[in-house]
Amino acid sequence: MKKNPYQPIETNLIEVISESPVIKTFVLQPKEGFRFNTGQFIELSLNGTGEAPFTPSSDPNISKEIEVTIMNAGRLTAGLHQLKNGETLGIRGPYGKGYPLNEFKGKNILIVGGGVGLAPLRSLIYSLLADTSSFGKIYLCYGAKTPQDIIYKNQIQKWKRAIDIKISVDRADDDWKGNVGVVTTLLNDFKENLSNFISIVCGPPIMMKFTTYKLIDIGFKPSDIYLSMEKNMSCGLGKCGHCRMGRFYVCKDGPVFTFDKIKDMHDLWD
């Protein structure tokens, strides 16, 4: 019998990790083999509640377990946030093209993340760190609303050995000693030679917009800026029509696009 591409695979939820007051990481164990490339996304469903696209945040080289980091943003995600270990979820995919690691080889890489946008970037960072000799220097600029909202605090500490990391918060608290301001302010004194650099950006639309303009400002070429676009999605397969952006379907042709491919589109950041 033919395969039903809409049918999710049953997946055990084996651990829930609290990352911030509104963000949790779900450790999933699919009952059938499931592999993804970094930057590809999945459709995750909760019976009777709904289904939505998420990008795995775990190391794609680990296939037994998949981690997904999810912000509580509405109906389905609120339902997910109430779950405990042992529940069963549904997973379909992986979908989309993900990050073209081959294009990054030999280049210096500036990663800019905002909020829960660090989730797909964590998967990317794992892939880069697994093969550091293939890539140049790696920089990470990360912005969160408040110090409480910073996710992956432990991993970030470990990455510091291999990655130049800067973090900023929109609003500080009494204990915060670091940068304050939107994430683009971290780029003000980014003075590297950009001839062999690419940048990878993921975060809320408004953050992606201002970060992209900032990167252009400091000298990045549009074709060297990789953006993760978010659109409403249902099928993930290029069929349901929901995620159209110009001549593309974000689910099939993206979700990662270089800025030159999309910069002339109307209402790009809406």
Partner 1 sequence: MDKYFIQKKDTAKFLDNLSRDYGVYVPYRIKGKEIPCDLNLKLPTDDYLLESWDRIKKEDFTFNEYRAIEPLRTFFAFPKERLRLDEEEKKAAIFGVKNCDLFSLKIQDFVFLDGEARDPFYERRRQNALLISGDCPSFKETCFCRSLDINPYPSEGFDINFSPLDENFLVDTGSQRGEEIIKSSGLFNHATPAQISRRDEKRNSVVKRLTEHLAFHQIPPKDVLQEIVRDGYESDVWREEASSCVECGGCNLSCDTCHCFLLSEDRLKDTNEKIRAWDACLYANFARVAGGANPLKRRYQRLRNRYLKKFDFFPDNIKLNACCGCGRCIDVCPGKIDIRRILRRLNEEKSVSAH
Ligand X SMILES: Cc1cc2nc3c(=O)[nH]c(=O)nc-3n(C[C@H](O)[C@H](O)[C@H](O)COP(=O)(O)OP(=O)(O)OC[C@H]3O[C@@H](n4cnc5c(N)ncnc54)[C@H](O)[C@@H]3O)c2cc1C
Contact residues toward ligand X (CB under 6 A) are 41, 50, 52-55, 69-71, 73-77, 116, 119-120, 230-233, 255
How near is the Cβ of 232 to ligand FES at its closest, in Å? 8
What count of Cα atoms within 13 Å lies in the side-chain half-sphere of residue 197? 20
How near is the Cβ of 88 to partner 1 at its closest, in Å? 8
Nearest Cα residue to 185 out of 205, 206, 212, 214: 214
The partner in contact with residue 55, picked from ligand X, ligand FES, partner 1, none with C-beta cut-offs of 5 to 8 angstroms by kind, is: ligand X
The partner in contact with residue 119, picked from ligand X, partner 1, ligand FES, none with C-beta cut-offs of 5 to 8 angstroms by kind, is: ligand X
Q: List residues binding partner 1 (CB under 8 A).
A: 1-8, 10, 45-52, 71, 73-74, 77, 90, 205, 230-232, 234-235, 237-242, 244, 246-247, 252, 266-267, 270
How near is the Cβ of 90 to ligand FES at its closest, in Å? 16
The partner in contact with residue 1, picked from partner 1, ligand X, ligand FES, none with C-beta cut-offs of 5 to 8 angstroms by kind, is: partner 1
CA 188 to CA 198: how far, in whole Å? 17
The answer to whether residue 117 forms part of the interface with ligand FES (CB under 6 A) is: no
Beta strand 41-46 pairing with 50-54: antiparallel
3-state secondary structure 44-90: EEECCCEEEEECECCCCCCCCCEEEEEECCCHHHHHHHCCCCCCEEE
Nearest Cα residue to 245 out of 211, 220, 270, 210: 270
C-beta of residue 44 within 8 angstroms of C-beta of residue 19? no
Cβ–Cβ contacts within 10 Å for residue 116, how many? 25
**Sites for ligand FES among residues 207-266 (CB under 6 A):** 233-236, 238-243, 249, 251
Q: Which residue is nearest to ligand FES (CB)?
A: 251
Give the nearer residue to ligand FES in terms of CB position, either 53 or 113: 53
168-192: b (≥16 Cβ within 10 Å) or e: bbeeeeeebeebeebbbebbeebee
Residues that bind ligand FES (CB under 6 A): 233-236, 238-243, 249, 251
